Structure 1
Amino acid sequence: MKFSGKRLVVAGTAGILALSAAAGIFAKQGGIIRFDGVDWKLPPEARIENGQTLVPLAWIVERLGAKVAWNDKERLAEVEMPEATKELAMIESFAQGLRPKTAKEAVELWSRGIQNRSGALQYVVMSPALQEKSRKEFEEGHWVTGVSSPWAADMRFAKEEKLSDTQMKYSIEFALQTSEGSAGKAAYTLMVEKHEHGYWMITKIITSDEEPDTSPPGVENTNVSK
């Protein structure tokens, strides 16, 4: 089986797909599988062999919005993926390509997201836990953060502290601007950790902004009452 980003090719089968935990699909009692949080009742053709749940390939891919055709001459099934799936694959590849190689790079990428009001750029350098915490807020803002005025202009590193070989702490400041000139500063403290796979990610962001409603998603504001 291979996937080119547009087409999934399954060779040497009769259109049967084996589902396992490794594929992110889990069999449940009562003939139900859960895929990405959605429960589907298995078709009558489904069966279990050697600990794997086998279902017709067409049955599952059509539920994912894809199209499947069996090429009897070449003995392979061709699955045409929907446009949304292709775009998700592209976005995932883009996100992996942006993984910071240093702690400072993680802070710089997040800062660029603040300056450009890009929620996606801020999100991609966050740890999984911080992503989960802030995702809803990013989505509600349609992945656009901040306000049109004042906007975050130049960023500077105010302090850098090494906590361990895999942990860094940074204090940064943004110069805020309006059409009439300077509008003060916005300060943040970021905790950055090294992932076991070698890239760095932001695990915590703190500010004492006097206007907590303008804080970006994922930021803890010390002026907000617990």
Structure 2
Amino acid sequence: MNIIPKIITTILMSTLLTNLPYDKIDIKKNIPISIGKEQLLHKKDNLITPEQTKAQIELFKQALDEFGATSPEQVISIWVKTEKTRNGVYHYSVACKELKRKIIEDLGAPKDTYWIYGVSSPWLDRYEVISKNKISDTEYIVKLKFFWSTSSGPFNTTENTLKIIQSGDTWCVKEVI
């Protein structure tokens, strides 16, 4: 399952590049450059347009939808990465189809918006699994507690209660209760 973090990183980088205020990106140097819209470019110029990047993000999203966590523990680990990194793609990657639709509804399509959660402070210091109740062989209710810090010291704690289910060969978050 090491492929999921690589796909997520690629999607995030593509999303960030899509939202740069430039007309083209020099992919050899990864440097945004501004050019006149009337100027014609050829493939040999190694430049991509925001439209091409948006299409690529959609392709990465489609690929990401084909993968899933192999256990409830892996779902929890990936879910927490959103809190650690503020990267909403991690939540999306372990969400069930219904929750993925809600994420897109709430945050917008990945090709059109940033999926960044939170700001620079507070940051996640640590988390604990408060409870993990096995409802059946294919369903768990998991309560997570997040401990936040600021430069001034500890901050408020927050909690998520996740309904995690097995869907086919993979596990996903069906809902946040």
TM-score of the superposed pair, with normalisation by structure 1: 0.49
Aligned residue pairs, count: 123
1:219 is aligned to none
| Larger helix proportion of the pair | 2
> For structure 1, which runs of at least 5 residues remain unmatched after alignment?
1-81, 207-226
1:19 is aligned to none
Q: Does structure 1 residue 148 correspond to structure 2 residue 103?
A: no
Distance 1:122 1:91 in 2: 13
1:83-125 CA-to-partner distances (Å, cap 9, x unmatched) read 644443344334544x100012112101111211111111111
Change (3 A) 1:87 1:172: closer
Name the larger-Rg structure.
1
Q: 2:59 aligns with which of 62, 84, 89?
A: 89
2:170 is aligned to 199
Distance 1:180 1:128 in 2: 40
| Larger strand proportion of the pair | 1
Q: 1:129 aligns with which of 73, 88, 98?
A: 98
Change (3 A) 1:200 1:173: same
SS in structure 2 opposite 1:156? Answer: strand
Distance 1:104 1:154 in 2: 16
Q: Percent identity?
A: 21
Distance 2:157 2:102 in 1: 26
TM-score of the superposed pair, with normalisation by structure 2: 0.62
* RMSD over aligned Cα atoms: 2.1
Q: Does structure 1 residue 158 correspond to structure 2 residue 126?
A: no
**What letter is aligned with 1:169?**
I
Q: Say which structure, 1 or 2, has more relative contact order (CA 8 Å, 6+ apart).
A: 2
1:58-86 CA-to-partner distances (Å, cap 9, x unmatched) read xxxxxxxxxxxxxxxxxxxxxxxx56444
The answer to whether the Cα contact below 8 Å between 1:119 and 1:138 also exists between their aligned partners in 2 is: no
Change (3 A) 1:157 1:165: same
